[in-house]
Structure 1
Amino acid sequence: MSSIIQLLPDHVANQIAAGEVVQRPASVVKELLENAVDAKATDIKLIIKDAGKSLVQVIDNGLGMSVTDSRLCFERHATSKIRQAEDLFSLHTKGFRGEALASIAAIAHVEMKTKQDQEELGIHIIIEGSKFVSQEPAVLPKGTSFAVKNLFFNIPARRNFLKSETVEQRHIVDEFQRVAMAHPNIHFTMYHNGSEMFNLPISNFRQRIVNIFSGKTNEKLVPVKEDTEIVNLQGFIGKPEFSKKNRGEQFFFVNNRFIKSGYLHHAVMAAYEGLLKDGAQPSYFLYLDVPPHTIDINIHPTKTEIKFDDEHALYAILRSAIKHSLGQFNVAPVLDFDRDPNLDTPYQYQNKDAEYPTIQVDRSYNPFSEDKQPSKSFASSSNYKKTEAQPSWESLYVGLKQAGQEIAEMTFENNEAVTSSLFEENEIEQEVKRTYQIHKKYIVSPIKSGMVIINQKRAHERVLYEEFLTSMTVKQASSQQLLFPLQLFYSSDEVELLAELKTSLENTGFVFEAIEEDNVLISGLPVNVTESEISIVLEELLSDLQDGIPDNSFSQNDTIAKSMARSLAIKTGTYLTEKEQENLVHNLFACKEPNVSPFQKPTFITMSVEDLDKKFSL
């Protein structure tokens, strides 16, 4: 029997490895940016076209490579970071496995230009699908230029699995921001289809965060700093009032490497306990510096997960440091929360001395004498005023008996009138109540066969969903104009997303006066949206669309209508008057699909009289 196990060819092995390392264009961006940082560059440019599908290029002014290194860097498991197994636990660089460039070269057209500072000429290499096409000397500036074209050209199945340009571009921006935030000492620029998206000069950590997210980021940052033997912690957290529904602005960096850790995130949320609304997520940008031998970063292909030696100590330090910062900068509520500000000293009296009252004593006054008036000398010199004699307490009851009789007679007459009116026939015939609200959650309405029980939140979602969808389809939504335009601040990514949604949102009733780099100006709202709800509606809409906007216009309108209906629907626990209950019932059964909510959950159930009889027959 012949053997069935055989060694894979190198180009097949590289393509399989590429499946782990290169999942989308953003993976290429991450690897190339990290290589540029490891090369000690001070200026890094990222150029992409068609969301990285056509081109991903990174240009740096780093150390460059020699002729030999430029060829070896494309070989599998060729690395300058590892010499022995122990080196895995003392890493200070980004890449170390030696798989990234080999994997990228296996599934794309790669063009690399590199030159060292001491050399007169550089090297220009072209590789297509792991095959060396050409290698020749060239006149180049110091550093390396790495261009990846036609990603997945030889794996069409993988290329077909890529998302839309909007989604892929968002992933690229995420990777770019993570590397840029970890290294504020490097100048980063990013270009997409010829237009500049980011220009981040060399700065400190705080300024780098503000330059990336813009808006009112600087106002909401609270510094955090704690130095211990286990970890040196620094960074910034967001004030509770600026919390959001999504987790877009949450970053952990360990030894300048972005990581994801649900355990450390739980420590942050524990520090914010009691300060956030339900479902709200705080912003944080935290940099942890730990000894390299206390962590293991080689547990995930993308190196975004890390194993710590002492997670419990890190949890406690992180939680206490954030709590301390929230209290130190008066973000957390003070203990004396019942203090009455009306008892504070007025501003105009703060620097004045207290005026003490003067005391005068009449030494000639004799309390046992019949004449108990003060002496003439004391009366003339003091502010004494003679009070008039008050009537005795017996005078308070004069005429009370006569008034009581009059009140009793009036009460008796009124009682007769009321008693006679209680039994009139037209008062007995009252209209039967049609709807009842139970636990401020369900509405019960009788029908011929029994009764219908309606979930008020889901029913209102269905009503609003069909209203918004109709408005966007017909494009005749009515708006309510604001007396003063409302200015809302967002990050550059969120503003770009709102700009793409502008037409669809205007069909629901929004009126955008201006959309700028870090804010939007709204002058009109849909008729069923209040000014206080607008920020919540748009925030939840951005959260629902953070994975990308659907390409199909109907799918886009459907997503917007669902998100707005969920944000504006009546919440469980809201009291409804009888008129509001009836209107909701009528509007629900006037919908095209009243049986289910926009999220395919039942809006009501029915119970027949027979069902009730069965319950009582047990």
Structure 2
Amino acid sequence: MPTIALLPDHLINQIAAGEVVERPASALKEIVENSLDAGATDVHIQLQEGGITLIKVSDNGCGIQKEQLSLALARHATSKIRSLNDLEQVGSLGFRGEGLASIAAVSRLTLTSRETGSDYAWQVETQEGEISAPAPAALQKGTVIEVRDVYYNTPARRKFLKTATTEFGHCDDTCKRLALAWPTVSFTFSHNGKVCWKFPIQSRQARIAAVLGESFMEEGLPVDAANGQLSLYGMIGSPTQSRSSRDAQYFFVNGRFVKDKLVSHALREAYRDVLHHERHPVYALFFTLPPDLVDVNVHPQKSEVKFRDSGAVYRLLKGAIQQVLAGTVAGAQTPSIDTNMSTSIPFTPSSQVGERADTGTPPWQTSQPQWGKFEQTRMPLSAGENTPAYFSQLRPVDLPATSFVSNSQTTSSPQPLPDTVDSQSPPLGFAVAQIHGVYVLAQNQYGLVVVDMHAAHERILYEKLKQAIDAHTVVSQPLLIPASFHATSVEMATAQQQEEALRELGFELAPVSPTHLALRAVPIALQKADPVSLVRDILKDLSEVGSSNVLLAKRNEILATMACHGAVRANRHLTLPEMNALLREMEATERSDQCNHGRPTWFQLSMNDLDKLFMRGQ
């Protein structure tokens, strides 16, 4: 039988390196975090071959005493904690005391440091786990760590490294995360002797713009929320800034970048109503709370955390993001069409509508984003539309029904467009025409507005249905002649089992035979929809949902199905009053920049854009 024996320290460090030093980027993260913990305000990072052959980090931090250089490379030696109480309230990025020891175990490491106030710098080197005696070295200030040939003495693990290009990408992303969290520190990042990027000491907003791009800062939405000792601030991208991957999602807890399932789920749920299919949101968010309310010691690489009150964190994250996204009413932000036919269609934050109206350029294109709560601009109706035919089509915002799209054509004559469309006009202007029964064209003070009428109406209905369900005020409309239809066995069973859920949604459904159901009432907001097709889809959703608890969680998906059926369809011709009523409803509806599936509902073409299309003035 094999005997049990203690492992040698060097082998222990090599085993630990498998967890701590997964790749060059992991080693780089540990070293840069030590520089930040040392109070550095200037960090220089140099790589060769993606960090496989060389990682060199220089800082101007406090440095390390000569007597403690060897101890800095020892396993489980740290200056950051002394007791369990320190561990429970740790505020530094590093604290385990195993990072440098693990890196030294699988590489050739050189540590040079000069303590603040010391006359000399000292240097130690490691080889096969052996640490040399300190020797004098030339260094003006701070610490320099050189890591050469990662995994040179563990060939089997080295085989798992990717190409230099791939490893460089991971190192680049790691350093940008740290730079994003520490705008009070300047960073210089070089690869193979060439400077890739350099960030000076700057404001938080400027650092976000430097890492994620000016367009994200200009088009993003500011977040600033707090609940007791929890606070959240930063920027989130509008739904149309979403990406096909999660490569632009940055979330920090007390300055530490983390990937947390609870956080990801909260943000995904907040975007659910406005994000298209499998797209992923873009954000740079900074979450702060007392150190004793979060456990950062749950992962070897410190990339995951555990919150003491996860429910409060989840509610703050989801609620804050939902509130910001709810402010994206049509007209508060302006999606514009790129006249150069590029694939990106940016959103820009609103400014005070009416400024610089004589220039032909919307003021939001020059607005400077400010931290704070998102404010939306509501414009009064123009006197030019103050006609009985116009107001007869409008309904109060809080009613569950939206009935400005009737089947019969209005008998009132269309009202002409006002002579001038100025800064006092509604943000989406006034309708002028409809194209192929699909798009509404409107004129505002900046130019042409193009609206997808089905997508816009779908969002309006969806928000009204949600409000009505929350307020328990869903109003049913009895059908003059009940709609009877042949039902499958599943539909018959679902109608019986989910009778209460159907009633809450505004449907009255009853069996009239073993194979037929009769629909006697529908929600008043959906009275113009095809009743049989609508109720069949609702029964399908309910049969897939099952229990009432799951129904609550899936409620919005069912309401989205209802809204889609009730929205005006393509090839439906609207009168000018109906089109204008739709525009006014969009301006008063939350999240009306996107439909329920995350698609945009409208775009703006400024006069400058139109001039470019027709090459006027060129």
TM-score grouping bracket, smaller chain normalisation: 0.5 to 0.7
Which of 420, 435, 441 matches 1:347? 420
Task: Output one character per residue of 1:11-33: Cα deviation in whole Å (capped at 9) or x when no partner.
Answer: 11111111111111011110001
Return the letter of the residue paired with 2:185: I
Match of 2:298 in 1: 299
CA distance in 1, matches of 2:168, 2:201: 24
**337-346 or 245-254, larger mean C-alpha shift:** 337-346
SS of corresponding position for 1:96:
coil
Relative to structure 1, the CA distance from residue 82 to residue 223 in structure 2 (aligned partners, 3 Å threshold; closer, same or farther) is same
Match of 1:114 in 2: 113
SS of corresponding position for 1:172:
helix
What is the Cα deviation at residue 343 of structure 1? 8.5
What is the Cα deviation at residue 233 of structure 1? 0.8
Given that 2:47 and 2:191 are in contact with CA atoms closer than 8 Å, whether structure 1 keeps it comes out as: yes
Relative to structure 1, the CA distance from residue 229 to residue 15 in structure 2 (aligned partners, 3 Å threshold; closer, same or farther) is same
What is the Cα deviation at residue 133 of structure 1? 3.5
Q: Is 1:214 matched with 2:213?
A: yes
SS of corresponding position for 2:287:
strand
SS of corresponding position for 2:134:
strand
Return the letter of the residue paired with 2:38: A
Trace 1:80-479 onto structure 2 (pairs within 5 A). 80-214=79-213, 216-328=215-327, 330=329, 347=420
Relative to structure 1, the CA distance from residue 349 to residue 125 in structure 2 (aligned partners, 3 Å threshold; closer, same or farther) is closer
CA distance in 2, matches of 1:259, 1:114: 30
SS of corresponding position for 1:317:
helix
Given that 1:186 and 1:201 are in contact with CA atoms closer than 8 Å, whether structure 2 keeps it comes out as: yes
Given that 2:151 and 2:157 are in contact with CA atoms closer than 8 Å, whether structure 1 keeps it comes out as: yes
Task: Output one character per residue of 1:517-542: Cα deviation in whole Å (capped at 9) or x when no partner.
Answer: xxxxxxxxxxxxxxxxxxxxxxxxxx
CA distance in 1, matches of 2:283, 2:109: 37
What is the Cα deviation at residue 329 of structure 1? 5.5
Aligned-residue CA RMSD (Å): 2.6
CA distance in 2, matches of 1:278, 1:271: 14
* TM-score, with length taken from structure 1: 0.54
Return the letter of the residue paired with 1:170: G
Relative to structure 1, the CA distance from residue 107 to residue 325 in structure 2 (aligned partners, 3 Å threshold; closer, same or farther) is same
What is the Cα deviation at residue 189 of structure 1? 0.9
Match of 1:43 in 2: 42
Match of 1:14 in 2: 13
Gaps of 5+ in 2: 334-377, 379-396, 406-413, 426-618
Aligned residues: 351
Given that 2:243 and 2:280 are in contact with CA atoms closer than 8 Å, whether structure 1 keeps it comes out as: yes
CA distance in 2, matches of 1:13, 1:204: 43
What is the Cα deviation at residue 261 of structure 1? 1.4
Match of 1:410 in 2: none
Given that 2:70 and 2:131 are in contact with CA atoms closer than 8 Å, whether structure 1 keeps it comes out as: no
Task: Output one character per residue of 1:326-349: Cα deviation in whole Å (capped at 9) or x when no partner.
Answer: 234547999699999988855368
Trace 1:505-516 onto structure 2 (pairs within 5 A). none
Task: Output one character per residue of 1:147-175: Cα deviation in whole Å (capped at 9) or x when no partner.
Answer: 00011111011111111112111111121
What is the Cα deviation at residue 321 of structure 1? 1.0
CA distance in 1, matches of 2:403, 2:79: 63
Given that 1:222 and 1:329 are in contact with CA atoms closer than 8 Å, whether structure 2 keeps it comes out as: no
**281-290 or 335-344, larger mean C-alpha shift:** 335-344
Relative to structure 1, the CA distance from residue 14 to residue 344 in structure 2 (aligned partners, 3 Å threshold; closer, same or farther) is farther
Return the letter of the residue paired with 2:420: Y
SS of corresponding position for 2:284:
strand
Task: Output one character per residue of 1:23-51: Cα deviation in whole Å (capped at 9) or x when no partner.
Answer: 11011110001000000000001100001
Given that 2:113 and 2:144 are in contact with CA atoms closer than 8 Å, whether structure 1 keeps it comes out as: yes
SS of corresponding position for 1:76:
coil
Match of 2:542 in 1: none
CA distance in 2, matches of 1:137, 1:329: 61
Task: Output one character per residue of 1:561-607: Cα deviation in whole Å (capped at 9) or x when no partner.
Answer: xxxxxxxxxxxxxxxxxxxxxxxxxxxxxxxxxxxxxxxxxxxxxxx
CA distance in 1, matches of 2:283, 2:424: 42
What is the Cα deviation at residue 319 of structure 1? 1.3
CA distance in 2, matches of 1:342, 1:159: 75
What is the Cα deviation at residue 134 of structure 1? 4.6
Given that 1:127 and 1:134 are in contact with CA atoms closer than 8 Å, whether structure 2 keeps it comes out as: no
Return the letter of the residue paired with 1:46: I
Relative to structure 1, the CA distance from residue 275 to residue 61 in structure 2 (aligned partners, 3 Å threshold; closer, same or farther) is same
Trace 1:489-504 onto structure 2 (pairs within 5 A). none
CA distance in 2, matches of 1:85, 1:320: 34
Return the letter of the residue paired with 2:11: V
CA distance in 1, matches of 2:174, 2:116: 29
What is the Cα deviation at residue 219 of structure 1? 2.5
* TM-score, with length taken from structure 2: 0.54
SS of corresponding position for 1:347:
coil
Given that 2:40 and 2:60 are in contact with CA atoms closer than 8 Å, whether structure 1 keeps it comes out as: yes
What is the Cα deviation at residue 280 of structure 1? 1.1
Return the letter of the residue paired with 1:76: R
Given that 2:106 and 2:151 are in contact with CA atoms closer than 8 Å, whether structure 1 keeps it comes out as: yes
What is the Cα deviation at residue 267 of structure 1? 1.4
**39-48 or 341-350, larger mean C-alpha shift:** 341-350
Relative to structure 1, the CA distance from residue 310 to residue 127 in structure 2 (aligned partners, 3 Å threshold; closer, same or farther) is same
CA distance in 2, matches of 1:252, 1:12: 35
Task: Output one character per residue of 1:447-493: Cα deviation in whole Å (capped at 9) or x when no partner.
Answer: xxxxxxxxxxxxxxxxxxxxxxxxxxxxxxxxxxxxxxxxxxxxxxx
CA distance in 2, matches of 1:199, 1:258: 20
Given that 2:66 and 2:134 are in contact with CA atoms closer than 8 Å, whether structure 1 keeps it comes out as: no
Given that 2:43 and 2:57 are in contact with CA atoms closer than 8 Å, whether structure 1 keeps it comes out as: yes
Given that 2:42 and 2:187 are in contact with CA atoms closer than 8 Å, whether structure 1 keeps it comes out as: yes
Relative to structure 1, the CA distance from residue 346 to residue 67 in structure 2 (aligned partners, 3 Å threshold; closer, same or farther) is farther
CA distance in 2, matches of 1:349, 1:194: 56
Return the letter of the residue paired with 1:219: E
CA distance in 2, matches of 1:222, 1:342: 37
Given that 1:11 and 1:106 are in contact with CA atoms closer than 8 Å, whether structure 2 keeps it comes out as: yes
Gaps of 5+ in 1: 353-618
Return the letter of the residue paired with 1:114: S
What is the Cα deviation at residue 253 of structure 1? 0.4
- Structure having greater relative contact order (Cα 8 Å, sep ≥ 6): 2
Task: Output one character per residue of 1:282-321: Cα deviation in whole Å (capped at 9) or x when no partner.
Answer: 1011111011111111111111111111111111111111
SS of corresponding position for 1:216:
helix
Task: Output one character per residue of 1:371-420: Cα deviation in whole Å (capped at 9) or x when no partner.
Answer: xxxxxxxxxxxxxxxxxxxxxxxxxxxxxxxxxxxxxxxxxxxxxxxxxx
CA distance in 1, matches of 2:39, 2:53: 27
CA distance in 1, matches of 2:210, 2:100: 31
Relative to structure 1, the CA distance from residue 325 to residue 121 in structure 2 (aligned partners, 3 Å threshold; closer, same or farther) is same
What is the Cα deviation at residue 213 of structure 1? 2.8
Relative to structure 1, the CA distance from residue 351 to residue 255 in structure 2 (aligned partners, 3 Å threshold; closer, same or farther) is closer
Query: Identity of counterpart residues, as a percentage?
Result: 39
Return the letter of the residue paired with 1:288: F
What is the Cα deviation at residue 269 of structure 1? 1.9
SS of corresponding position for 1:212:
helix
Given that 2:69 and 2:134 are in contact with CA atoms closer than 8 Å, whether structure 1 keeps it comes out as: no
Given that 1:51 and 1:168 are in contact with CA atoms closer than 8 Å, whether structure 2 keeps it comes out as: yes
CA distance in 2, matches of 1:217, 1:273: 20
Given that 2:44 and 2:58 are in contact with CA atoms closer than 8 Å, whether structure 1 keeps it comes out as: yes
CA distance in 1, matches of 2:404, 2:44: 55
Given that 2:180 and 2:207 are in contact with CA atoms closer than 8 Å, whether structure 1 keeps it comes out as: yes
